[in-house]
Amino acid sequence: MKAAVIFENGPPDVLRYEDVPDPVCPDGCVTVDVEAISIEGGDLLARSVSPPESTPHIVGYLCAGTVVEVGAGVESPAIGDKVVALNSNGSHAEKRVVPAVMTWPVPEGLDPAMAACIPVAVGTAQECLFTAGDLEQGQTVLVHAGAGGVGMAAIQLASQAGATVISTASSDEKLERLKPFGLDHGINYADESFVDRVRELTDGRGVDVVLDSIGGKNLVDSVEALAYRGKLVSVGVSGRAGSNVEAKSLWGKNNTLRGVFLGGAILAEYPRVHGMIADLIERVARGELRIEIDSTFALAEAAAAHAYLEGRNAFGRVVMVP
């Protein structure tokens, strides 16, 4: 089969499109013929900084496709079923093997590319807002990087929950395009201080929840945007910078800092998280939540696809097709 592989970490051009052996399907697993691949932020980090255990290494969390083989002990899914498949690697290929328990059925009529984009981004947004952030109707949330996958999902989920939604993005154009998703107030972080603007929008009170996927100074500055007993939720480091938050900075307003990692949650709380993701997939299929796909690349163009997403050019998701 064909796959986009790496032999070493580095920039997007370390990805090579090559022939590799078809994967073997062990007990408890299924083989999926891949139809669509969602590129996740974790895929960029795996390519650039996480040393591969062996080479050639196939990166990638998420794909959607058709089950073509099942290992011993698997009762569901069955051969011929359409599924979304999640694992720590292997999505950037024509075929991949995943544990059967890490699949979800694709509802009839849902495009595989959209289905592939749901579990990590929308699931993470749900965890950040409601499990970590305890967001409630009538509260106010600040979503950083609103034009990204997690941000766009968070805007919709928060708006539908009855919250006031503020979001940052790198351009007025992106902020305008986010309004139909439920955005109430946009902040162009290239032109103004998001802390000052949040204070202005909230009459000096601050927001109840901040969802930060940037890290670094952005996370540190977000403490100043919080209301009394506000919650700062940190997920991912798209800025690839660690964050040294001084605990004392949280004391004055009795604020809380929470971390979210969906992979850890699904391992520790499998029934709850797997069911939550299944529900989100159904909500997308029913048209209640929208997946915005910015660009579609061929798998052979994986290096270009990674470079495009890494350059923060996208409004929404970037997918690949074998």
* Cα angle 119, 124, 129; round to 5: 135
CA distance 171 to 191: 9
- Domain match, 90 and 136 both: no
Q: What is the mean pLDDT of the chain?
A: 96
CA distance 227 to 210: 10
Based on the number of CB atoms within 10 Å of its own CB, is 130 exposed (0-12), middle (13-18) or buried (19 or more)? middle
Can you give the residue range of the structural domain that contains 54?
2-117+291-321
Answer yes or no: is 11 within a domain.
yes
- Domain match, 240 and 296 both: no
- Provide the pairing of β-strand 29-38 with 62-70: antiparallel
Q: Write the pLDDT tens digit of every residue in 242-257.
A: 678 888 899 999 999 9
Q: How many domains does the chain have?
A: 2
Q: Write the pLDDT tens digit of every residue in 180-215.
A: 999 999 999 999 999 999 999 999 999 999 999 998
Answer yes or no: is 281 within a domain.
no
What three-state secondary structure class fits 12? helix
- Domain match, 38 and 129 both: no
Q: Write the pLDDT tens digit of every residue in 134-188.
A: 999 999 999 999 999 999 999 999 999 999 999 999 999 999 999 999 999 999 9
- Domain match, 250 and 145 both: yes
The CATH number of residue 30's host domain is 3.90.180.10
Please report, for the chain, how many H helices and E strands are present, in that order: 11, 16
Answer yes or no: is 100 within a domain.
yes
Q: Write the pLDDT tens digit of every residue in 60-99.
A: 999 999 999 999 999 999 999 999 999 999 999 999 999 9
Answer yes or no: is 279 within a domain.
no
- Domain match, 205 and 299 both: no
The CATH number of residue 215's host domain is 3.40.50.720
- Domain match, 35 and 136 both: no
Q: What is the pTM of this model?
A: 0.95
- Domain match, 189 and 235 both: yes
Residue 292: the pLDDT is 97
- Domain match, 90 and 151 both: no
Residue 238: the pLDDT is 54
Answer yes or no: is 271 within a domain.
no
- Provide the pairing of β-strand 29-38 with 16-19: unpaired
Banded model confidence at residue 103, pLDDT cuts 50, 70, 90: very high
Task: Decide if pLDDT at 239 tops 70.
Answer: no
Answer yes or no: is 275 within a domain.
no
- Domain match, 18 and 89 both: yes
- Domain match, 209 and 139 both: yes
- Domain match, 126 and 97 both: no
- Domain match, 77 and 192 both: no
